[in-house]
């Protein structure tokens, strides 16, 4: 693909280097037209190639040095030479002051406004700026040093290093033995600083892993992993040991994975942590899933469901029996949607039982059971036991095999309301998927009430949100998607009076959203109701085209259409919608 087609020297360079395929480059160009973003922005946003390759490509193209900021802590007096607001706005940071020169790392060396801003600041301080390029994640970590987390981490690290730093080239002793409590204290402070950061920033996971002789700590926020700390390697075993002690895992077992749980108080909130250790070459990796009960105070509204969708869901939850499915890939929010439905159904007069792997959150008044396949307690055997427990409502964590689908359908046909999840790309895909698992079409038609297909997209940060207009071609496509008569969307409500253009939004990045431009996540979805007409189509074994015609008759909004509408409302961005729709 030629440069005139991509309009991106970065993509062309990566093409020549074999880092990206021509097909993927073409896809990037098409999405750039739809979203109004630059091809380079989409390339970075989707992490199609390692960001290090992008940074080094920029360094080569613009003839500037690559600056490795990974794991670096910048001195306060150097960092503050460029004010925080300027650094965040232009995505750059002062790295080193030497004689009368100031080394500055930035993401995009072609950003001449950023260069002018730095030139102006440097002249006032009688310094000459030297520009280099770095990766986006490394820059974000340095920008985070303007805030309090780094100071808190450094204080805890200082105490830990005083206990565990090697002396005279000898490795530090393992945790345990004489003075164990004395050694545990600084490691506890260090671990507590990780947990506090995770809770305060709504991180879903913490990864503590060895990396190039050091210990890397990463947090998953809104589905994206962020590097936040690089610790000395000699602290790794002490941190892992402390986590094992807290989660009642065997300290001396490093050959096999172990799973445990921690319940602790962080920021005046009771937090559950699901712990998983994994043996690596000569060491271990630890992952912690942060389970904050406060996050489970969901309603269908704040999950992202609109009025019409909520009415359909409520109507089907009132059915005394039948099956309701949530579908989508791993991590798309299916379980959260079902938990929210269970909370709506949770009354003293009903017996609700769940079969999960694992139990993510505890719901008062609901009987929750965890499957243990290693001892023969599977989803299928669990359902058999459940029906002898006089249940009204059964939630099955996932329908994975023929036996489970057969038992779930039987339960739904014999007076129980069954909720479960399935891996399909869209709502209509649930029906052929059930048939693939040997379910009879007439049984599916008889028991299936509702299918919700969903994805998670990131919310635009409300504190740095700015209005934008799409390119004409992208706006034309948006009008085609949202202007279908059966959707009944009044586009005039979202049109700028002066220009007559549709208004969309994008976050510019700020400390509140960790400079991502996004804060939090929301569902985009489609809801398929199994009407009598759809039952006839399924029972008759007719083709997918007939099913699609029925969805249009129902005025069913597709996931893509729902995403476009949320982008138009300023809830998310078109780029997020297109990314999620491809999952």
Cα-based distances in Å from 96 to 58, 88, 265, 416: 21, 18, 40, 67
pLDDT tens-place string over residues 331-373: 899 999 999 999 999 999 999 999 999 888 889 999 999 999 9
Half-sphere exposure of 167 (CA within 13 A, CB side): 5
Residue 3 has pLDDT above 90, yes or no: no
Mean pLDDT lowest among 174-178, 214-218, 369-373, 395-399: 174-178
Contact 449, 323 (CB under 8 A): yes
**Distance separating alpha carbons of residues 21 and 551, to the nearest angstrom:** 36
pLDDT tier for residue 303 given thresholds of 50, 70 and 90: very high
* pLDDT value at 175 more than 60: no
Lowest mean pLDDT among 180-184, 218-222, 325-329, 512-516: 180-184
Nearest C-alpha neighbor of 218 from the set 71, 329, 87: 71
The rounded distance, in Å, linking the Cα atoms of 136 and 108 is: 9
What are the b/e assignments for 393-418, b being 16+ CB within 10 Å? bbbbbbbbeebbbbbbbbbbeeebbb
Task: Say if residue 518's pLDDT is above 60.
Answer: yes
**Does the domain made of 148-163+184-294 have the CATH classification 3.30.450.90?**
yes
pLDDT at position 163 over 50: yes
Domain ranges of the chain: 148-163+184-294, 300-582
Give dist(CA 72, CA 255) in Å, integer: 32
Element (H, E) at 33: helix 22-35
Per the CB < 8 A criterion, the answer to whether 377 and 366 are in contact is no
Sign of the torsion formed by the C-alpha atoms of 492, 496, 501 and 507: negative
Structural class in CATH, domain 300-582: alpha beta
pLDDT band at 148; cut points 50, 70, 90: low
Q: What is the pTM of this model?
A: 0.77
177 pLDDT above the threshold of 60: no
**Could you give the CA distance from residue 188 to residue 241 in angstroms, rounded to a whole number?**
11
- pLDDT attached to residue 287: 98
What pLDDT does 173 receive?
44
Q: What is the pLDDT of residue 176?
A: 40
pLDDT score recorded for residue 2: 41
d(CA 387, CA 510): 52
């Amino acid at each position: 693909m030629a440069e005139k087609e991509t309009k991106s020297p970065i993509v062309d360079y990566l093409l020549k280097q074999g880092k990206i395929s021509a097909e993927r480059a073409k896809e990037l160009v098409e999405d750039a037209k739809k979203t109004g973003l630059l091809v380079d922005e989409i390339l970075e946003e989707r992490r199609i190639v390692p960001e290090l390759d992008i940074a080094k490509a920029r360094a080569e193209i613009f003839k500037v040095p690559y600056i490795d900021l990974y794991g670096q802590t910048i001195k306060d007096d150097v960092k503050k030479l460029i004010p925080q607001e300027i650094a965040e706005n232009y995505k750059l940071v002062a790295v080193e002051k030497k004689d009368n020169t100031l080394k500055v790392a930035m993401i995009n060396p072609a950003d001449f406004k950023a260069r002018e801003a730095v030139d102006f600041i440097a002249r006032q301080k009688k310094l000459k700026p030297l520009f280099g390029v770095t990766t986006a994640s490394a820059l974000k970590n340095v920008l985070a040093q303007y805030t309090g987390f780094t100071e808190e981490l450094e204080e805890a690290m200082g105490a830990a290093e005083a206990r565990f730093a090697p002396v005279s080239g000898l490795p530090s002793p393992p945790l345990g033995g004489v003075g164990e409590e004395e050694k545990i204290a600084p490691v506890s402070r260090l671990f507590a600083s990780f947990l506090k950061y995770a809770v305060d920033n709504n991180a879903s996971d913490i990864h503590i892993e060895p990396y190039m002789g050091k210990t890397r700590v990463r947090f998953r926020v809104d589905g994206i992993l962020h590097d936040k700390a690089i610790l000395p390697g000699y602290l790794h075993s002490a941190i892992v040991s402390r986590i094992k002690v807290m989660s009642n895992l065997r300290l001396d077992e490093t050959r096999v994975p172990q799973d445990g749980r921690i319940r602790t108080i962080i920021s005046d909130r009771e937090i559950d942590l699901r712990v998983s250790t994994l043996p690596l070459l000569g060491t271990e990796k630890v992952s912690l899933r942060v389970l904050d009960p406060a996050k489970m105070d969901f309603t269908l509204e704040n999950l992202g469901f609109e009025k019409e969708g909520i009415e359909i869901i409520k109507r089907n939850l009132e059915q005394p029996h039948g099956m309701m499915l949530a579908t989508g890939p791993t991590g798309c929010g299916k379980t959260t949607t079902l938990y929210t439905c269970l909370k709506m159904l949770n009354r003293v007069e009903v017996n609700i039982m769940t079969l999960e792997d694992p139990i993510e959150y505890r719901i008062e008044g609901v009987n929750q059971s965890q499957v243990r396949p290693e001892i023969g307690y599977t989803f299928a055997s669990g359902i058999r036991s459940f029906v002898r427990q006089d249940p009204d409502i059964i939630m099955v964590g996932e329908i994975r095999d023929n036996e489970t689908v057969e038992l779930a359908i039987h339960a739904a046909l014999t007076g129980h309301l069954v909720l479960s999840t399935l891996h399909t790309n869209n709502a209509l895909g649930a029906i052929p998927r059930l048939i693939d698992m040997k379910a009879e079409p007439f049984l599916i038609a008889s028991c299936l009430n509702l299918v919700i297909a969903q994805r998670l997209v990131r919310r635009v940060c409300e504190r740095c949100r700015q209005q934008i207009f799409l390119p004409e071609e992208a706006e034309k496509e948006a009008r085609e998607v949202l202007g279908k008569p059966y959707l009944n969307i009044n586009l005039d409500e979202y049109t700028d009076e002066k220009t007559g253009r549709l208004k969309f939004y994008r976050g510019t990045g700020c400390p509140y959203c960790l400079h991502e431009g996004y804060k939090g996540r929301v569902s985009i979805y489609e809801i398929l109701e199994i009407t009598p007409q759809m039952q006839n189509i399924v029972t008759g074994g007719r083709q997918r085209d007939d099913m699609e015609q029925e969805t249009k008759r129902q005025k069913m909004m597709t996931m893509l259409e729902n995403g476009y509408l949320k982008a138009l409302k300023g809830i998310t961005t078109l780029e997020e919608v297109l990314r999620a729709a491809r999952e």
